[in-house]
Amino acid sequence: MSDSSGAAGLTPTREVRAATASGYVMLLVWLLLFGVAIWAAATNLGGDVDWNWKWGLVVASGIAGTVILCGFYLINPNEAAAIQLFGSYKGTDRESGLRWVLPWLTRKKIAVRANNVISDKIKVNDLRGNPIEMAAQVVWRVTDTAQALFDVDDYKEFVMAQIEAAVRSIGSRYPYDDIEHQEITLRGNHDEVGVELRKALIERLSVAGITVDECGLTHLAYAQEIAGAMLRRQQAEAVISARKKLVEGAVGMVEMALEQLSAKNVVDLDDERRAAMVSNLMVVLCSERDTQPVVNAGSLY
């Protein structure tokens, strides 16, 4: 399978783990600094002789506490944060809860939970050139946050565009229907088409660090301008197929009847009478309505 990122001339960005700290530990450090600043300020107000030194401690604790406060951020479950330093990617933090990083590092959050998308109905020409309408349901999620954020402009719009392109490709690869069931069709082989669509989407979305968990067609129909004609065609093909099965069964039954009559010597028929009997049996077996028998009370000949 070809590398889609290489074909597009991109240098793929790979996700790495960011160097971050637990926010709860840093919160404890901040509380200690806050306590020191309160103690130093309170003792200075009480007339302590080391007034300048303690006020310096208050200022230093305040600056350090402010720096620590600017580094806190929160990550929800199934969420990640990409860490950057002046535009340079430094890693991704996937640990949920209260987190902390140096305040001059920027954080860009991205959801890594599963997303369910139902595409718009699009018009496609199937393998036989018939215009059809198709729509797909896709469950996708981000697996590489760095690629999703930095290798494509807008990964959500990219997903929607690639879903439409993949649906068009799959729709033109197979016929809508095959009455003889000799080909893989969009209408009759839903599972096979879904597997093929998922494979195509995974290949297309790999450049954005996105995988597809599940997908399938939610809407499949002939386009409105030919829907009536194709419905009549389907009905005609269904009638022909049913008639074919009916004739095959009737021929078998007639053959079996003649063989048993001859084997058991029930009646000896010449060619003319056998032809008449075959004709009558075929009418009885293939007729759509109940036949009315005519009883011959005289001689057979």
Q: What is the pLDDT of residues 243-263, one digit of tens each?
A: 677 676 667 776 776 676 667
What pLDDT is stored for residue 54 in this prediction? 66
What pLDDT is stored for residue 296 in this prediction? 54
With contact defined as beta carbons under 8 Å apart, do 216 and 190 qualify? yes
d(CA 164, CA 104) in angstroms, rounded, equals 40
pLDDT digits (tens, 9 = 90+) for 91-128: 999 999 999 999 999 999 999 999 999 988 988 888 88
What pLDDT is stored for residue 28 in this prediction? 92
Least confident range of 149-158, 199-208, 249-258: 249-258
What pLDDT is stored for residue 205 in this prediction? 92
Q: Tell me the mean pLDDT in the region 32-60.
A: 69
Backbone angles phi, psi at 260, to 5 degrees: -70, -35
What pLDDT is stored for residue 125 in this prediction? 86
pLDDT band, residue 130 (cuts 50/70/90) = confident
Strands (E) located in the chain: 21-22, 72-75, 79-85, 88-93, 97-100, 106-111, 115-118, 122-125, 131-142, 210-222
Q: Indicate if the pLDDT at residue 59 is higher than 90.
A: no
What pLDDT is stored for residue 129 in this prediction? 81
Q: At what angle do helices 155-173 and 190-205 cross, to 10 degrees?
A: 140
| Average pLDDT value over all residues in the chain | 79
Q: Indicate if the pLDDT at residue 295 is higher than 60.
A: no
Q: Tell me the mean pLDDT in the region 59-85.
A: 89
Strands 97-100, 131-142: pairing is unpaired
- Residue 226: which residues within 8 A CB-CB, separation 6 or more? 130, 131
User: What does the DSSP assignment read for 243-297?
Assistant: HHHHHHHHHHHHHHHHHHHHHTTS----HHHHHHHHHHHHHHHH-SS--------
Overall pTM surpassing 0.75 (yes/no): no
Reading the block at residue 64, the tokens are 């350090």
d(CA 147, CA 133) in angstroms, rounded, equals 33
- Ranked by mean pLDDT, which of 41-45, 143-147, 265-269 comes out on top? 143-147
d(CA 184, CA 175) in angstroms, rounded, equals 8
pLDDT band, residue 82 (cuts 50/70/90) = very high
Instruction: Delimit the domains of the chain by residue range.
Output: 4-108, 115-222, 231-286
């009847």: which residue's tokens?
257
Matching CATH number, 115-222, of 3.50.50.60, 3.30.70.100, 3.30.479.30, 3.30.470.20: 3.30.479.30
